[in-house]
């Protein structure tokens, strides 16, 4: 009976790892991506401020890509929002605090503004 050497053991381990990688890649390729659902529209008064959000067809003021196709307004002023790759949302007011929905982002912005007016974002 042949003796198992370190070289044979490492070769078998590398082969098994490669087989698992190929199998995992094939399974991921067959599995369909979940369909992303667009956030629902909202229009409410929160903490005395009117917040409104709805899908937009203009692609935001960046002309697509970054605009996320969703518009949020606080007291009529646009709150620039962006959707992250993990489906969380951020705004210019709370850029480092990703939240689950544009409504949550609008509410967080109202709290952060503490009564101050939302100043329009200047785009160069």
**pLDDT tens digits along 78-124:** 999 999 999 999 999 998 999 999 999 999 999 999 999 988 777 66
Whichever domain contains 95, its CATH number is 3.30.1880.10
> Is the separation of the CB atoms in 109 and 93 below 8 Å?
yes
The verdict on 108 and 63 lying in the same domain is yes
Which among 76, 70, 71 has a CA at the least distance from the CA of 45? 76
How many structural domains comprise the chain?
Answer: 2
Could you tell me if residue 119 is inside a domain? no
The verdict on 48 and 105 lying in the same domain is yes
Could you tell me if residue 120 is inside a domain? no
What is the DSSP code (8-state) at residue 38? P
What is the DSSP code (8-state) at residue 79? E
pLDDT given at position 38 = 79
The verdict on 24 and 55 lying in the same domain is no
Query: Is the whole-model pTM more than 0.95?
Result: no
pLDDT given at position 60 = 46
pLDDT digits (tens, 9 = 90+) for 12-65: 777 777 666 666 655 555 555 454 677 999 999 999 999 999 998 755 444 444
> Which residue bears the tokens 């935001």?
60
Helix/strand/coil for 46: strand
Q: How far apart are CA 79 and CA 71, in angstroms?
A: 8
CA 33, 58, 61, 64 torsion-angle sign: positive
Structure-model confidence comparison of residues 87 and 67, the more confident one: 87
The verdict on 55 and 96 lying in the same domain is yes
What domain range is 25 assigned to?
1-31
Residue 2 has pLDDT above 50, yes or no: yes
């Amino acid at each position: 009976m042949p003796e198992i050497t370190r070289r044979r053991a490492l070769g078998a381990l590398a082969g098994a790892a490669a087989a698992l990688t190929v199998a995992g890649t094939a399974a991921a390729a067959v599995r369909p991506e979940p369909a992303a659902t667009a956030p629902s529209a909202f229009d409410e008064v929160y903490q005395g401020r009117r917040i409104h959000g709805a899908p937009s067809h203009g692609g935001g003021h960046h002309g697509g890509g970054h605009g996320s196709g969703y518009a949020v307004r606080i007291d009529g002023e646009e709150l620039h929002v962006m959707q992250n790759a993990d489906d969380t949302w951020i705004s210019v007011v709370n850029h480092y605090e990703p939240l689950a929905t544009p409504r949550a982002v609008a509410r967080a912005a109202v709290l952060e503004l503490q009564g101050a007016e939302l100043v329009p974002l200047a785009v160069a």
